[in-house]
Structure 1
Amino acid sequence: MANFLQAVEPSIPQRNLSGLIQAIASSKNELELHAAIMEMVGEYFDVQRWGIYLLDETSHVKVDDRGIPDVCLKDNPVGRYVVERHAPAHEEIILPAGNWQQFCSREDHAHVMSGPIVHSGRLIGTLNLARAQGKSAFNANDLADLSALCLHLSAKFATLQTNQKTTTNTEFSSRLTPRELEIAQLVAQGLTNAEIGEKLWITQNSVKQALKRMFKKLGVSARAEMVAKLQP
């Protein structure tokens, strides 16, 4: 029996999600969470392109520079499956083999897999992975790992957003979306619109327009007044 186990053991790939899960659990804010995922997920899943996409209140998309362009997220069966079912998917469980290329012909996106990040019953983002041509397609084990990872991500985002609300004046913070609260916290730290945009992976103009909406919701006309109003 020992000889048999030694003979087959090398052919069984061993992967352990514990490192990724621990990195998620120990993240103190959304920026740390994003950094942890971006550092570890590429090697774990053996992917050449990957990214977290978070939808803000105006449906803009935050894109990491190693992420997957919009062509792989919109108007295709994989993306549609994730949005409609809030469940992870890769192209080979939805399309006949080879048909993914009609939606994206990029060689570094030969195989794609996407999983949902959900909060309060709605999709708030996705974790997207792509393998280059010549790499093997995603399989059932990859899908199971992504499903577990997305569950932990969704729970962590919910915890972080709840913590954001408890550190502000709930009378006024309840008027703001989670993304607006995140912007308000960075304003309170003294960051400029450009610096906020860089941290949140959105344009400087998006920050400016968000602040206008926030000022209107809170009945203020200046950044300092907004920060003071949100103090607990």
Structure 2
Amino acid sequence: MPNSLHSVFHAIASAQNEQELKIAVMDTVGEHFGVQRWGIYLLDDHTAKDNIQDIPDVCIESNPIGRYVVERHAPTHEQLILSPTSWKQLCPRQDHEHVMTGPIICDGRLIGTLNLARFSGNPAFDANDLADLSALCLHLSAKLATLRTKSVTFNSQLASKLTPRELEIAELVAQGLTNAEIGGKLWISQNSVKQALKRMFRKLEVSARAEMVAKLQDVLS
């Protein structure tokens, strides 16, 4: 298949970190989609707008296309939600004649967008482009979730000192989550997390989170 995304999917799966993931996508999507501008914008990545290929104008909530992606967590392009006249009133730029944006999702929330644009004189995006972007965003979202969630498996001897719930909390502490974030993931209150950590400190004979993580990491299997 001459225009297959399988090579991109393989590159995404092989990425060892977020920088490699960005490179894998940025080196290939431009040619695949026949676009002149493209970029990945991660909401917590403040360097993204320094990329000359980035398109911040189409990934903000005040823009109808960006707002559609934010509200629905689904990809779209300008012809799906706007008339050509409406779009040109919003974006007169010749290098944004046609735009398409897709969501990057992690833990049920939007963490970024993949943005594509074609210059004036190029064809509009079609249903095949949208299907390819949907597939690409699924692979990106899954890989980012894997990279951002480092599973921790503790030595069974140490694990026996903690309850299953305490082990869950310890794993999330090792990932760098705050008490509020841990509570949100486990559906318990922030105070419950705080009290559990106090019990865990006593059991493990430590006095701080960093000390607890260091001790646990010393006996990682």
TM-score scaled by length of structure 1: 0.65
- Which of 37, 44, 48 is residue 62 of structure 1 equivalent to? 48
Whether contact under 8 Å (1:49, 1:129) holds in the other structure is: yes
Whether contact under 8 Å (2:37, 2:55) holds in the other structure is: yes
Q: Deviations over 1:170-207 (max 9, x none)?
A: 46444447xxxxxxxxxxxxxxxxxxxxxxxxxxxxxx
Q: How many residues align?
A: 169
Distance 1:143 1:171 in 2: 36
Distance 1:141 1:171 in 2: 40
Distance 1:155 1:174 in 2: 18
TM-aligned CA distance change 1:230 to 1:103, over 3 Å? farther
Distance 1:50 1:61 in 2: 15
1:107 Cα deviation (Å)? 0.7
TM-aligned CA distance change 1:114 to 1:171, over 3 Å? closer
Distance 2:107 2:22 in 1: 20
1:96 Cα deviation (Å)? 1.1
- Which of 7, 31, 47 is residue 19 of structure 1 equivalent to? 7
Corresponding residue for 1:73?
A: 59
- Which of 102, 115, 122 is residue 102 of structure 2 equivalent to? 115
Other structure's SS at 2:23 match? helix
1:104 Cα deviation (Å)? 1.4
Whether contact under 8 Å (1:53, 1:61) holds in the other structure is: no
Whether contact under 8 Å (2:58, 2:101) holds in the other structure is: no
Runs of 5+ unmatched residues, structure 1: 1-12, 178-225
Runs of 5+ unmatched residues, structure 2: 154-169, 179-208
Question: How large is the RMSD of aligned CA atoms in angstroms?
Answer: 2.7
Whether contact under 8 Å (2:58, 2:115) holds in the other structure is: no
Distance 2:17 2:123 in 1: 34
Distance 1:136 1:230 in 2: 54
Q: Deviations over 1:78-110 (max 9, x none)?
A: 111100000000000000123211221111111
Larger Rg: 2
Corresponding residue for 1:6?
A: none
Distance 1:26 1:175 in 2: 24
Q: Deviations over 1:134-163 (max 9, x none)?
A: 100000000000000000100000111113
